[in-house]
Amino acid sequence: MQQWVHLNGQLVPKSEATLSIYDHGFLYGDGAFEGIRVYNRVIFQLEPHVRRLFRSAHALSIDLKTGPEQIQAAIVETVRANQLDSGYIRVSVSRGVGLGLDPAHLKSEPTVVISTEQLRLYTPEMYERGLDVITASTRVPPSVCIDPQIKSLGRYVNNIMAKMEANRVGAGEALMLNMDGYVAEATGDNLFLVQGGELITPPPSQGALPGITRQVVMDIAKETGIPCRQSVVTLYDVYNADEAFLTGTAAEVIAMVTCDGRRIGDGMPGPVTRRLIDAFREKTRTAGVPV
């Protein structure tokens, strides 16, 4: 079946969706993006994702020349065109096209690309068993240099380096520390610990992206009476947590059962994690924007 890509305001066949070699996203990582999921023809958390995209663009001083409603409509249109029942939507924006880093040299409006794919990060067995995770030597950049609240293209070179560290040793994910040695997040996911019945997750000030899935889990925790707080997290806290799990649009909610060779809790997805995974899956079945 013909696949379509929304490129700068128009649906074009995927084979014709090409970008300039001088696109600032390609040249300098000068842009932002979102990854969004569709479950059974319902787009999950569409508004929060689009809101974060506009905040990222605003912080980067990229004027998208369009509004959130138009981008949302374009996302819906792309999902419909590709008859995507369940899958992944990628929305990428860049400052535009022009050689030289000075934005004064740009010769175009910002680039906006919306595409859809099938994406499965982990096997069903990994969701059942939980992930073995390592700590990467690659750090997240200090929040005062690149704010982690901006889901910027350029920031991800570090996350890719960290992911390669995990791949090299056959780990499912890598935790990334900030320059003070506190745990920020994983390469494409947020971290939660369960300790004494309470959820703990690092705040954006420690280098964590304010994840949409993280917020969904925090909302579920509130609805179901599980206390949750944002706090500085050390590796000691991770190793000694009762349970730990990761959240992200791509990864969804997945238990983390070892870290750096230390068993977390009893080395299996714990009861709180399992409850939250079930509640998260239930939300993906019941909440969102239909297409």
Beta bridge partners of 43: 38, 289
Q: What is the DSSP letter of 263?
A: E
By DSSP bridging, strand 228-230 and strand 198-201 are parallel
Neighbours of 119 (CB within 10 A): 13
Residue type, 40: N
Nearer to ligand PLP, 79 or 216 (CB): 216
22 vs 280, beta carbon nearer ligand PLP: 280
CB of 35 to ligand PLP, least distance (A): 5
* Residues that bind ligand PLP in the complex, under the rule CB under 6 A: 35, 159, 185, 188-190, 209, 211-214, 247-249
Rg, Å, the chain Cα set: 19
In this chain, which residue has its C-beta nearest to ligand PLP? 211
Min dist CB 179 to ligand PLP, Å, is: 16
Listed in sequence order, the residues at least 6 apart from 250 whose beta carbon sits closer than 8 Å to its beta carbon are 35, 37, 88, 119, 121, 188, 189
Task: In angstroms, give the least distance from the CB of 202 to ligand PLP.
Answer: 10
Q: How far apart are CA 264 and CA 170, in angstroms?
A: 18
Q: Which is nearer to ligand PLP, 106 or 136 (CB)?
A: 136
Q: Please, which residue, 17 or 208, has the CB nearer to ligand PLP?
A: 208
The CB-of-12 to ligand PLP minimum distance in angstroms stands at 26
Closest CB 181 distance from ligand PLP, rounded Å: 18
Cβ proximity of 154 and 29 under 8 Å: yes
Our CB check for ligand PLP shows the closer of 97 and 221 to be 221
